[in-house]
Amino acid sequence: MAAARASRDACSRSDSERIDHVLITMRRALQQVESVGPVDVPLLERDTTSGVVIERVLANLMDMALEINRHVARASSRQLPGTFAESCVAAVGAGLIDAELAAELLPSGGPHHVLMQLCLDTAPEQVEGVVARALAAFRAFERSATAWAGRLDVA
């Protein structure tokens, strides 16, 4: 808790405003994908572009999480992580997310959007699970980042 409070206090107003804007965009992206419903084989066959579009949204969600993590890391440790994995480690250190969520954000098989692309090519029946796990991870990240930024009461 102390690390989270100290790193949150170190964020400048412009960092805080930028994080707020990224969170707004992240919420919209999550809502858009969630509104599609299950990203299953019938959807992928009926709307052949849906898989590519959702894969890009997942990539954008990762980019948004990276941007937030980098702002937090810079404020808390004056370091600027280069990769998404490094940014997740920094976010854990700053108290933004926990190690379990960091692992969910970057599965051992690779980023969610890469896993989705591989499944689109070879195992479309697995896409639904990949997307569901990605949405759960990024939704949890959004809630954690919102709480960290002081926008929610954390019980």
Q: How many residues does the chain have?
A: 155
Model confidence band, residue 12 (pLDDT cutoffs 50, 70, 90): low
Give the confidence band of 155 by pLDDT, cuts at 50, 70, 90: very low
The predicted pLDDT at position 60 comes to 98
The hierarchical CATH code for the domain 2-148 is 1.20.120
**pLDDT for the residue 75:** 86
Residue 58 and residue 131 in contact, taking contact as beta carbons nearer than 8 Å:
yes
**For residues 129 and 125, what is the distance between their CA atoms, to the nearest angstrom?**
8
Distance (Å, whole) CA 154 – CA 77: 24
Residues 123-129: contacts with CB within 8 Å, 24+ apart?
124/41, 124/44, 124/51, 125/40, 125/41, 127/39, 127/40, 127/41, 127/44, 127/51, 128/38, 128/39, 128/40, 128/41
- Whole-number pLDDT of residue 96: 95
Mean pLDDT value across residues 12-28: 86
The string of pLDDT tens digits covering residues 47-68 is 999 999 999 999 999 999 999 9
| Domain boundaries, given as residue ranges, for the chain | 2-148
What is the pTM assigned to this prediction? Answer: 0.87
Backbone phi, psi, residue 89, to 5°? -60, -45
pLDDT for residue 112: 98
When mean pLDDT is compared across 20-29, 109-118, 141-150, the lowest value belongs to 141-150
